[in-house]
Structure 1
């Protein structure tokens, strides 16, 4: 029931859409010829094609003053594994370099399997911890709306690799369900919701922790079998075979995934720190944050971000590129992006002119009013500097080589300012103060905060 105060406020401001008002709106529309002209184009070609700004494409050649070597563009297909592909893209290049060969590829599907299994267990943990909440609580609604999905965050990846290691792509190749995950996710989530009801009842019945743990173990066995049926059983041992730069055959047989990761990784992933730019009222710069109920491995690395201004985020990114190392980043790819040509520019579509509506807003408003959030992870592998200032950035995507510049995207510096929210930077590029701030106890954000959206 509405409160008395709410009802009174609405009575004062309520506008009724009457027949007379509809006629007035229609007369205003039909009395403006350019609206009809716009209608003719949009009805036939759609909004995006009709609002396309050709000049924006002409002004940005695909050339960069700083570039990091990369391998060919992969294809995540109809799945939400961009965060996995982004890190694997970087590691593929580094391992190829270490082995002295042209290309070497890791399995995304291997990490994908264990991420799903761990997310199920993480979901069970959250359900137990919220068992005293009503079913219509926002927290429980958040958990049940998507018990597990394909998305993730950098710290989740670090925990996965530390616990399960890595394997070559041929050891656990892609399957139909890793390429197109909707049906698999649908039925895993259906099972997890049924499990949630059982777990809440066990808590209500005051069952012991041992009894609950035994039930969860049985539930995880069912999740495991569903995953194995859909995407295969992860290997316990792998054979590494390749020819080095001199053409000599090399082989290392029967090693575990963790042994493979320990031997062939060139970097310590724990040396990398997630940096965000979130100019929101509930987030201060030079402060560390985390997001409630977000994660995969219960005992894994905690998810933390250091919030900085945009100029600092760009400077850190450029410094890492100058160090010949690509940068994992998160952004809102759905904003002013030509997916066919691979151009990310705020003026790529002149929708304000098309609709005669003012769409101008700032980054803070877009975050706080649900207009923008983290939706996609990719890799920054280059930048073009003019007078030491960035103008365009080279982006390695995971949507195959048929789009963009053989799979690469071009991001204007203005687009980066407005729609990039996260980069991951080696700690050696951070100042002592930034490192100290990052080590502080993080402020916990709500589960539905936009800084947690990439994990969904």
Structure 2
């Protein structure tokens, strides 16, 4: 950002301080007026008893939404039992691995089978460290107060990610069965791991920026970075375990037949047992904001995990097109990775995601309503969670509700599955991953066009 921008920021801060001096304050008379009006409203008194005792969402829950969103669907794919990401932010990789698992369950007659999330987690952390280092070096000429550098240092890495980021990991490292690299304490509960990993990355950022400022050669800088990456690798092996280079795949199918495939690598296992061409899939988003016209492609600056990996890229379409693409893929028998804002108007215990799941407007007599575009523009909503669409109820050619496979275990929802109303999808679903064959020629051409680059902090850069 440079010195000129920094001085500009100081000037803006000075103006803000001056404005603060003239801002109107809350007066005692104003509050007394509010208190009098509140006391005169009997409804406030009754509602307060419930809210104070039971909490906001429990008091506002609308049981009628359960009736409207019964878990019955005209298209309902067989997917097996749900997985559990536990105390980690790995929903995006669980969702991707689950879509592969669905295919394998049907192709090889497997039961209760999972792919290793810990294996994928290890390589994602390793690659994210290098991605962070390279972004620190790319911005080393900027002041620490620049928005880009501050963005990098605020969260050097985290558990979340995007579809194209998981594709980069799969294409480089393959996948393995969960038995080949089981969960560890630190993959199931990643808080400590992330805490110490980010401490190290910020410390290394100091060294790298100082080396650039001192005019060190690229060779010296890359040598220092290599030593940092070795420490990261050691840290991850101690914390998560050792990723297998070769392994045997041993299983008994639902017909009780025994199978063993020996001396596989993660790459050959992916090719033989998953057998998916990841380049056949594209990310479709619905972001109805003025800065993102429909039928255009977009990418996000500084968003990724693997240096030299797949570019994060989206095609923005209207919601009608969005849902038609999702229905087409489900009709073909294939589940769908998708991203949404799961915490909005959804019940965790019963697994209902519906606009009328709670009547908070009626509870407080306050209108909380915003449009989808307003929520994105003003920071009220963004993609927070990735799951899998495994079914849809289509009535008279129109979708009415969707079946969702979550990764929070089988103690929530209907044995881990949620029901998403069609209206909720309209408002809080932002991304689906669709095979190219379902796109129209015009949509495919729009996706393949040169994307507009969005700022790192754009809501479409949110990590699930």
Please indicate the TM-score interval, normalised by the length of the shorter structure.
over 0.9
Q: Is the 8 A contact 2:79 2:105 kept in 1?
A: no
2:53 aligns with one of 41, 44, 54: 44
Change (3 A) 1:6 1:216: closer
| Distance in 1 (alpha carbons) for counterparts of 2:426 and 2:357 | 15
2:172 aligns with one of 163, 172, 177: 163
TM-score where L is the length of structure 1:
0.97
The offset of 1:86, in angstroms, is 0.4
2:43 aligns with one of 34, 42, 50: 34
| Distance in 2 (alpha carbons) for counterparts of 1:128 and 1:60 | 51
C-alpha RMSD of the superposition: 1.5
Q: Which residue does 1:16 correspond to in 2?
A: 25
| Distance in 2 (alpha carbons) for counterparts of 1:105 and 1:356 | 47
The offset of 1:59, in angstroms, is 2.2
The offset of 1:10, in angstroms, is 6.6
| Distance in 2 (alpha carbons) for counterparts of 1:88 and 1:5 | 51
Q: Which residue does 2:6 correspond to in 1?
A: none
Q: Which residue does 1:291 correspond to in 2?
A: 300
Paired residues for 1:180-259 under 5 Å: 180-244=189-253, 246-259=255-268
The offset of 1:102, in angstroms, is 3.2
Paired residues for 1:330-349 under 5 Å: 330-349=339-358
Which stretches in structure 1 are left out of the alignment for 5+ residues?
none
TM-score where L is the length of structure 2:
0.95
Q: Which residue does 2:376 correspond to in 1?
A: 367
The offset of 1:159, in angstroms, is 0.8
1:310 aligns with 2:319: yes
Which stretches in structure 2 are left out of the alignment for 5+ residues?
1-9
Change (3 A) 1:8 1:188: closer
Q: What secondary structure does 2:142 align onto?
A: coil
Q: Is the 8 A contact 1:154 1:274 kept in 2?
A: yes
Q: Which residue does 1:326 correspond to in 2?
A: 335
| Distance in 2 (alpha carbons) for counterparts of 1:32 and 1:206 | 70
| Distance in 2 (alpha carbons) for counterparts of 1:103 and 1:339 | 23
Of the structure 1 ranges 30-39 and 307-316, higher mean CA displacement relative to structure 2 is found in 30-39
Q: What secondary structure does 2:362 align onto?
A: helix
| Distance in 1 (alpha carbons) for counterparts of 2:16 and 2:178 | 58
Q: What secondary structure does 2:462 align onto?
A: helix
Q: Is the 8 A contact 1:95 1:266 kept in 2?
A: no
Q: Which residue does 2:139 correspond to in 1?
A: 130
Q: Is the 8 A contact 1:71 1:89 kept in 2?
A: no
Q: What secondary structure does 1:454 align onto?
A: coil
Q: What secondary structure does 1:391 align onto?
A: strand
The offset of 1:227, in angstroms, is 1.1
2:430 aligns with one of 399, 405, 421: 421
